[in-house]
Amino acid sequence: MRPRYGRDQDGVWRIGPVRLLVVVGAGYLAVVLALAALTGGGDLGPSAGAGFGTLVPATATPTGPGEGTEGPSVSPTSARKNIRVGSVENRSPTPSTPPRTAAPPPTTAASPPTTTPTTAPPPVVVTSYEAESPVNGLAGTRTFTCSGCSGWKKVGYVGRDMGTLQFNGLTARAGGTASVTIAYVNGGDPRLGYISINRGRPIMLSFPGTGGWETVGTMTVTTTLRPGVNSLSIFNPYSPAPDFDRITVSVR
């Protein structure tokens, strides 16, 4: 009778049916586990092998002759935690990138506004003319000493159809409106006088009293002068006019 397992008399190893089932079952389980490992780790990266526990092949434990009803026992090592590449657990935080803002359009230098140069008007010139000046017309008049007057002199006997005082040499560079201030002396009641520019139409003026024949008062009138040299006459054909110290002309 041949033995159930072991080497027989012909030198051939023989295995009993129970042990044969154990060996075949262990081999099948090893193949299944290997295929499962290959299939489950297909999506792993280079470090996939480190994410699984070590597979221990199944070993058949013999129970002695006539026994062998127990199946294979598998002793797995302590399982490690499976970590997939790119999972939330090992993914490095992505730095937040601020949104791009549109660059401002390039600025261009604005061209300066074109201006048309204008010619400034000539400045106003203020000139004083003394009444007793020898360049004036003094026909029929008299010159008197006056302590309150400019140059301590004044011109009288103007009016009452006696004399006419004419200021000559009034210069206006551009001509136009002129302001004429008349300095006079009147120690009595108001007196009338007429003025004429360049022997034009006369203008009548009323000169109030100044409080004495040494006290000077002023009166300002507005008239028009022509460019160049002008003249101003003071007279009164009907009654005496006041005495006169000087005139001041403001004109361009």
Half-sphere exposure (CA, 13 Å, Cβ side) for 68?
Answer: 17
Q: How far is CA 118 from CA 112, 121, 176, 177, 209, in A?
A: 17, 9, 19, 21, 47
Domain 125-251 -> CATH class? mainly beta
DSSP for residue 48: G
Integer Cα distance of 228 and 68 in angstroms: 150
Residue 206 contacts residue 182 (beta carbons within 8 Å) = no
Three-class SS state of 7: strand
pTM over 0.85: no
Long-range contacts of 28-31 (CB under 8 A, 24+ apart): 29/58, 29/72, 29/74, 30/57, 30/58
Residue 251 CB-density burial (10 A; 0-12 exposed, 13-18 middle, 19+ buried): buried
Domain locations in the chain as residue ranges: 1-87, 125-251
Residue 158 contacts residue 235 (beta carbons within 8 Å) = yes
* Tens-level pLDDT at each residue, the chain (252 residues): 555 555 555 555 555 666 667 666 777 777 778 776 676 554 444 444 444 444 444 444 444 444 444 444 444 444 444 545 444 445 555 555 666 766 666 666 666 667 777 788 889 999 999 999 999 999 999 999 999 999 999 999 999 878 999 999 999 999 899 999 999 999 999 999 999 999 999 999 999 999 999 999 999 999 999 999 999 999 999 999 999 999 999 999
